[in-house]
Amino acid sequence: MKGGRPPLREGSEGAVGRRVFLLLAAVGAVVPYAAFAVFISRHGLDVALLVRQAFGSPGATFFSLDVVMSALAVIAAVTLDRLDARARWLSIAATLVVGPSCGLPLWLALRRPPSGSRP
């Protein structure tokens, strides 16, 4: 046993990684939307206020632009990937509707073989 890690069955590492990335995609959807739900409950769907708050200070602008740039990078990587069209569009839609916190791990999950498939 090298490095203290038990040997894995053939293909099991991909399946475990897929489940981890799917879990991260779900968490990446729930956590940002939980914060957005608080905003909606307090202010309704006030898009102008949301944008003002997102870019209201240098720190907020940094985080907002980081999310936008990350989303563009995820979309570019997914577009250039060899995934089937359905998987690509699902990853891009998750990135545009939720954000890169969901779209990136979803794309990484879809790139791994599903449980029970041979590499």
Tens digit of pLDDT at every position of the chain (119 positions)? 455 544 445 456 678 899 999 999 999 999 999 999 999 999 999 999 999 999 999 999 999 999 999 999 999 999 999 888 999 999 999 999 999 999 999 999 999 877 655 55
Q: Pick from 50, 23, 18, 36: which is nearest to 97 by CA?
A: 36
Q: Pick from 114, 103, 43: which is nearest to 79 by CA?
A: 103
DSSP output for 42-68: HH-S-HHHHHHHHTSSHHHHHHHHHHH
Q: Please give the pLDDT value at position 6.
A: 47
Q: Please give the pLDDT value at position 10.
A: 47
Rounded Cα distance between 80 and 82, Å, is 7
Question: Angle at which helices 12-43 and 47-54 pack, to 10 degrees?
Answer: 110
User: Under a CB-based contact definition with an 8 Å cutoff, are residues 86 and 13 in contact?
Assistant: no
Q: Please give the pLDDT value at position 82.
A: 87
Q: Please give the pLDDT value at position 83.
A: 83
Q: Please give the pLDDT value at position 13.
A: 67
Predicted TM-score (pTM) of the model is 0.81
